[in-house]
Amino acid sequence: MARTTSFTDEALIALDTLAGRTSELFAPALRIGVTGLSRAGKTVFISSLVHNIVHSGRLPVFEAARSGRIAKSFLEEQPDDAVPRFQYEDHIDSLVKTRVWPDSTRAISELRLTIEYESASAWNRLLGRGKLSLDIVDYPGEWLLDLPLLGKSYAEFSREAWELAELPVRQDLSAEWRERAKTASPAGPANEMDARSLAESFAAYLRACKADRRALSTLPPGRFLMPGDLDGSPALTFSPLPPPNGATPKSGSLHAMMERRYEAYKTHVVKPFFREHIARLDRQIVLVDALQALNAGPAALADLERALTEILACFRPGRGSLLGDLFARRIDRILVAATKADHLHHTSHDRLQAIVRRLTQRAIERAGVEGADVDVVAMAAVRATREGTARQGIDTLPVIIGTPLEGETIDGKTFDGHSETAIFPGDLPRNPDAVFEARADDPMIRFVRFKPPKLERGPDGLTLSLPHIRLDRAIQFLVGDRLA
């Protein structure tokens, strides 16, 4: 990827890092980035991670918890006063009390979870109890996909956007925007109404790509999907234009306006996001809703791989030196997690993991990621189903049992959000290559969304922690070595 930061950017990053490292001499902390594309389950993941650690959940793979070395876990005031707090308590209320999935991530938020622990080393235990703060940073994956724009000119951005829009899976969705862009006059005088019309049409095309029917992932600029307080600002009122005929656009033209606003978007939106958040991370988890892509077909899987490549290329992976770490953080562990494993029977979990591992390996090769440990896991941060069997003729089928959300349908039956049912979701193939070769009209699986589970109560009457699938493995990979 082309260079994305200037000397000034690097100097500011170095100063921020030095200040952070100085404070960590007295209060060790690990900054963990949590991202993923829409509806991959970022909010649910963070809520369940915190809930299970604080409430001593069932985490057998998380060594510090299994061995009883965690003395105390609690939430503290976060270190960044200008970043909204992750509303953990509200999200837990939604999951536990009302059994409603919390709202998706719409902006950056942060939460500090502090763990007091006994070291696994007898020598270190002589020095007293250890303490580690996990600063968990939640941010939309759509915003992360903006970072490659820092190394691209407006002409490159426009060319790539146009090439994507002409792909068979996008042609019908982009038709209106492409027609508007073709009839625009890039060399003509800049006009605010033309700019707004093109921007709105382009944003509508991106939103249509994101919908369940297509489940596409590579959709920059990310703020067009999640504008926040920038909605309607000039920095978001631009659009790619068709490749020019060769003439250099003049000052004051529509093309010049679009190019200027694209550069303003990079300067005022993308650069601060990278410098203030991404460049400060130590570890990263990328959540992937592979089931949604599998449901939509091979084109969605190919687009997910493209998005993973762009995402992995955004990070600064590697292991720094003792001196270098004082001025620049490096992400030394990246976990790619295929979420919603509870929508499949456990016999397909390894197959789901193999599919995402293949996607990740190809993305790593293309992105040139080196120096970081990268792992893949199929998981469910909150398990909404349990498993069983059902008879179909002389066959016995493995099924999952849960309460589908209101409005979900299977074979013409629409669920009311209260009735529990057993579903055979289908089997993923043993060979992961098969999913990339399937026909678009022949998906491997069909799945429905379920309500959060009704929590069990222990013998003492206390509500147990949120159930999960392999959340403990994710926690061990991300923080286990720092609690040794």
Give the pLDDT confidence score for residue 39 in this predicted structure: 79
Q: Give the separation between CA 285 and CA 42, rounded to whole angstroms.
A: 10
Percentage of the chain with pLDDT > 70?
86
Name the strand (E) or helix (H) holding 474: helix 471-479
- Tell me the average pLDDT across 475-479: 97
Please name the amino acid found at residue 61.
V
Q: Write out pLDDT tens, residues 251-282.
A: 899 999 999 999 999 999 999 998 888 888 99
Sheet strands side by side (includes 421-423): 386-392, 395-402, 421-423
Mean pLDDT in residue range 374-392? 92
pLDDT at residue 410, rounded to an integer: 79
At 393 the pLDDT is 78
- Sort strands 70-76 and 109-117 into parallel, antiparallel or unpaired: antiparallel
Helix (H, G, I), strand (E, B) or coil at 338: strand
Lowest mean pLDDT among 119-123, 202-206, 384-388: 119-123
Q: What is the pLDDT of residue 326?
A: 43
Please state, as a whole number, how many other Cβ atoms lie within 10 Å of the Cβ of residue 460.
Answer: 5
Return d(Cα 394, Cα 23) in angstroms, integer: 66
Residue 407 Ramachandran class (φ > 0 left, ψ -120 to 50 alpha, else beta): left
Alpha-carbon torsion, ordered 191, 197, 201, 207, to 10 deg:
100
Angle at which helices 171-183 and 154-165 cross, to 10°: 130
Query: Does residue 61 or residue 36 have the better pLDDT?
Result: 61
Cα torsion 441, 445, 447, 452: sign: negative
Q: What is the pLDDT confidence band of residue 413, given thresholds at 50, 70 and 90?
A: confident
User: Which pLDDT belongs to residue 386?
Assistant: 94
Mean per-residue pLDDT, 352-378: 86
Express as a percent the part of the chain with pLDDT over 90.
51
Query: What's the CATH number for 7-139+277-382+470-483?
Result: 3.40.50.300
The rounded mean pLDDT for the chain is 86
Highest mean pLDDT among 5-9, 100-104, 126-130: 100-104
Q: Which one is predicted more confidently, 311 or 404?
A: 404
Buried/exposed 419-442: b ≥16 CB within 10 Å, e otherwise = eebebbbeebeeebeebeeeeeee
Q: Name residue 250's amino acid.
A: K
Amino acid 99: pLDDT: 92
User: Is residue 1's pLDDT more than 50?
Assistant: no
What pLDDT is recorded for position 193? Answer: 93
The residues, ordered by sequence, that sit 6+ positions from 184 with a Cβ below 8 Å of its Cβ are: 194, 198, 241, 254
Query: What pLDDT was estimated at residue 2?
Result: 44
Residue 340's H or E segment, with its range, is none
State the chain's maximal CA–CA distance in angstroms.
77
pTM, 2 dp: 0.87
CA 271 to CA 232: how far, in whole Å?
20
| Nearest of 178, 188, 160 to residue 255 by alpha carbon | 188
Q: Which residue has the higher pLDDT, 465 or 34?
A: 34
Q: What is the mean pLDDT of residues 308-331?
A: 65
Tokens matching residue 78 = 């976060």
E-assigned strand segments in 105-262: 109-117, 130-138
- Residues whose CB falls within 8 Å of the CB of residue 126, separated by 6 or more in sequence, listed in order: none
Of 119, 140, 120, the closest CA to residue 128 belongs to: 119
Output 6 or 40, whichever has higher pLDDT. Answer: 40
Residue 200: phi, psi to the nearest 5? -65, -40
Which pLDDT score is estimated for 221? 95
pLDDT at residue 349 in the model: 93
User: Where is average pLDDT lowest: 165-174, 400-409, 437-446?
Assistant: 437-446
Structure tokens at 106: 């719409």
pLDDT of residue 310: 85
| Annotated domain spans of the chain | 7-139+277-382+470-483, 150-270
What pLDDT sits at residue 324? 42
Mean of the pLDDT values across residues 51-58? 93
Residue 140 pLDDT grade (very low, low, confident, very high; cuts 50, 70, 90):
confident
- In the predicted structure, residue 329 carries a pLDDT above the cut 80: no
- The answer to whether residues 115 and 131 touch, using CB atoms and an 8 Å cutoff, is yes
Residues 22-40 have a mean pLDDT of 78
More confident residue, 311 or 115: 115
